[in-house]
Amino acid sequence: MLPFLAAVLAGAASGVGAADVDASNLSGVFQATCLDGQARLRAGEVRPISYDQLPEGLRESLGRPASGKVWQLSAAGNSYLYMLDYNGSDGSSKVCGLASDSGEMRAAGDMLEARMTGSVARNRPRTAQWLNARDGYVATATSASTLKVLQISWLSEAAKAKAQAQVEQLPH
């Protein structure tokens, strides 16, 4: 799925089924790209950059991906979209995220929480994570340095199996 997203974002795909998203709508960009798997941004709204061009605090929190694609959005403030691949067999295999210093991220965090839980808590903590063990991913709303971050981390097969086993042990 991620190679297709990269092609759509880079403008190389035909866009069949892709959602047109305005880069200033950070909630829409995150939802269309990381949750729904399809986004199409207009030329000039997104600029490919290298992983090393991400702010240092964000890079530190993301670790060392094996490969990936990173874009800077022409949204208000500094906004970055990233799709990264990891080799680690124990943790995440893929990550799709949006980081921004824009105030618009509160609405995006609310959208993510509503999508994951069905509602939005009035006083969501600064960092929140939601695990979907069955589908094998963790959704995160947090901050890294001055950036607010929304991210989906797909678990490796080993991590997914471990998470499912732990969930099955919980009282129902």
> What is the reported pLDDT for 16?
41
11 alpha-carbon distance from chain centroid: 19
Rounded CA separation 94/65 (Å): 9
> What is the reported pLDDT for 117?
86
Q: Tell me 31's DSSP state.
A: I
The boundaries of the domain holding residue 67 are 2-169
- Show the tokens assigned to 34: 């990381």
Query: What is the number of structural domains in the chain?
Result: 1
pTM of the predicted model, to two decimals? 0.81
- Token pair 């190679």 in the structure block, residue: 3
Rounded CA separation 123/119 (Å): 12
> What is the reported pLDDT for 102?
81
pLDDT in tens, the chain (172 residues): 333 334 344 433 334 455 677 888 888 888 888 988 877 777 788 899 999 999 999 999 999 999 999 999 987 789 999 999 998 666 678 999 999 998 767 777 888 888 888 888 887 777 888 888 988 999 998 887 789 999 999 998 888 899 899 989 988 7
